[in-house]
Amino acid sequence: KAGVTQTPRYLIKTRGQQVTLSCSPISGHRSVSWYQQTPGQGLQFLFEYFSETQRNKGNFPGRFSGRQFSNSRSEMNVSTLELGDSALYLCASSWGQGTYEQYFGPGTRLTVT
Amino acid sequence: AQTVTQSQPEMSVQEAETVTLSCTYDTSESDYYLFWYKQPPSRQMILVIRQEAYKQQNATENRFSVNFQKAAKSFSLKISDSQLGDAAMYFCAYRQPHTGANSKLTFGKGITLSVRP
CA torsion, ordered B102, B104, B110, B114, to nearest 10 deg:
140
In the predicted model, what is the mean pLDDT of residues A4-23? 98
Condensed to tens digits (0 to 9), the pLDDT of residues B23-40 reads 999 998 888 999 999 999
Bridge partners of residue B76, in order along the sequence:
B67
Inter-chain contact A104–B37, Cβ cutoff 8 Å? yes
User: Nearest 5°: phi and psi at B114?
Assistant: -110, 145
Q: Is the pLDDT of residue A98 over 70?
A: no
Inter-chain contact A42–B100, Cβ cutoff 8 Å? no
Confidence category of residue B56, pLDDT binned at 50, 70, 90: confident
Chain A residues near residue B104 by CB distance under 8 angstroms: 33, 45, 48, 56, 58
> Å from A60 to nearest chain B CA?
14
Q: Is the pLDDT of residue B101 over 70?
A: no
Those residues with Cβ within 8 angstroms of residue B92's Cβ, 6 or more apart along the chain or in another chain: B4, B6, B21, B23, B25, B34, B35, B36, B75, B77, B107, B108
